[in-house]
Structure 1
Amino acid sequence: MTVTPVGPTDPPTEEDAVLLYVGGPLDGRVEVREARHGAPLPVVTHTHLHDGPKVVHVYDLHPLTPAAGVYHLRPAEVPVDTAAG
């Protein structure tokens, strides 16, 4: 039996999931998650490191079909002003 490794240039199969990112720094990115990695994660966190403080973006999965979904940027949490009131 011959095993052919799956590489990044292989076209997606019917078992793979095609995922689109909407919003934030990953906006427009399309990812093919190979079936061997299991189902897409319900939440993806992207951390951007640079000269300033780290910036964390959270994406929530909205499945379209068993093999396709869209990760939407979760709105930033606004701190509650405890002095207002």
Structure 2
Amino acid sequence: MTQPYVVRYVGGPLDGRVDSLPATPEVPRQVVTYVHLHAGPKIVHIYELSYAVEYGCEYVLRVEDE
């Protein structure tokens, strides 16, 4: 039996979300883009892959420099 591949999201609108895939992808995506569409302008959030000791892989919200 294989272990599921679990990814957590940190920050932004996806904070706390956990995705589970049946197996580890050969090449995990380094960046995930989340686009929020609503009545106003399109809002784009970018998450970067990182490693956390507690969870393994997680995507952390990229903070833009002002």
State if a TM-score over 0.5 links the two structures: yes
Could you tell me which residue of structure 1 aligns to residue 31 of structure 2? Answer: 43
Structure number with greater Rg is: 1
Task: Give the residue type in structure 1 aligned to 2:35.
Answer: T
- Which residue does the alignment assign to 1:69? 57
- TM-score of the superposition, structure 1-length normalised? 0.63
Between 1 and 2, higher relative CO (CA 8 Å, sep ≥ 6) is seen in: 2
Confirm or deny that 1:55 pairs with 2:43.
yes
Q: Distance in 2 between matches of 1:40 and 1:33?
A: 11
Q: Secondary structure at the match of 1:32?
A: strand
Query: Which structure 1 residue ranges, 5 or more long, are not aligned?
Result: 1-12, 79-85
RMSD: 2.2
**Matched-pair contact (CA < 8 Å) for 2:51–2:58:** yes
Q: Deviations over 1:12-67 (max 9, x none)?
A: x32x32111000000000011332754321100000000110000000011347x9
Say yes or no: does 1:28 pair with 2:7: no
Residue 28 of structure 1 aligns to a residue in which SS? coil
Moved more, 56-65 or 20-29: 56-65
Q: Percent same amino acid among aligned pairs? A: 47
> Whose strand proportion is higher, 1 or 2?
2
Q: Distance in 2 between matches of 1:34 and 1:22?
A: 21
Q: Residue 47 of structure 1 aligns to which amino acid in structure 2?
A: V
TM-score normalised by structure 2 residue count: 0.78
Runs of 4+ aligned residues of structure 1 deviating over 4 Å after TM superposition are none
